[in-house]
Copies of this chain bind each other. A is one copy, B any other.
């Protein structure tokens, strides 16, 4: 069986156009089967728009599974997850639980996707709380994994320890870092700094089977000196959104300033390749979504404003997760840890 990924076709800000096109690219380029989940008519219309009339998509390993409801960005998470039982994300998660797909990708309402995934797929027996893992660009090229970037606003030290183990496995298995260096996000390198949570978590991390290198600070995210950074979901989400906002602001400032005079306009044109490279290095869509680590099956959550490339890359990541048997590895590692501790 080809690796099969269920894509929530109704999730993102530009759904289903972006999802359908991203799925098509993935099916073509990545030898992956895609199940597009959502309102069948809209999905089919989108396939026709990009030149794939029914039933040609079958040959491309694309299947459609109808789901009548959609959870919007403005829907309150708790009630929409409970009430919209035929939402595209709910149906996609069900396909994964039933073994009809190996993982899911969604650019929908992040809170609703996380809640649905946890509810339908369940959490790994050894993990208390799944965590959303974001990847940040660094000067050294390979990304830094930061988790949690938003699944758990409040955390206990034991959660941060589990995040560290999951992040290290992610960095090793998917990003190819041999012995990932793990840091704990704090406000100073000294052990005495930070909150009670940080101090207790640091103690736990020192005893964990990871390459723990102590507290790190905000500026260490982008140097590439550590491979995994652990934080509670409130801090991690603030970091993610601050970084996105700052990149946008700098790019916007640069654009304005380059437009000021004829000389800088010319300079800007000649520098275009350099700007493109920098933008590409900073572009979240290159990294392809954030996995919700710690669920029993694979769930990759994309930015609401994801473009085609972001969806395609998220499908690639979901496939890599499946092939690397990432969840099995997490379960084995954490179990081993618990067993050793109880000896």
Contact = CB atoms under 8 A, between A and B. Distances in A.
Interface of A: 76, 111, 137-139, 150, 153-154, 185-188, 190, 192-196, 198, 217-223, 233-235, 237-250, 252-254, 257-258, 260-261, 263-264, 266-275, 277-278, 281-282
A195 B234 contact: yes
B246 A274 contact: no
A147 B130 CA distance: 31
A208 B138 CA distance: 41
Contact of A258 (B76, B253, B260, B271): B271
Nearest to A245: B219
A139 B266 contact: no
A142 to B, nearest CB: 14
Given A139-B253, A246-B247, A150 B268 contact: no
A254 B238 contact: no
Nearest to A272: B267
Contacts of A258: 271, 274
24 contacts: A76-B190, A111-B188, A137-B249, A150-B187, A217-B238, A219-B241, A219-B245, A219-B248, A221-B245, A222-B245, A234-B235, A235-B235, A238-B238, A242-B242, A247-B250, A250-B250, A253-B277, A253-B278, A254-B278, A260-B277, A263-B270, A264-B270, A267-B269, A271-B271
Contacts of A269: 267
B218 A238 contact: yes
B253 A264 contact: no
A192 B111 CA distance: 11
A238 B241 CA distance: 12
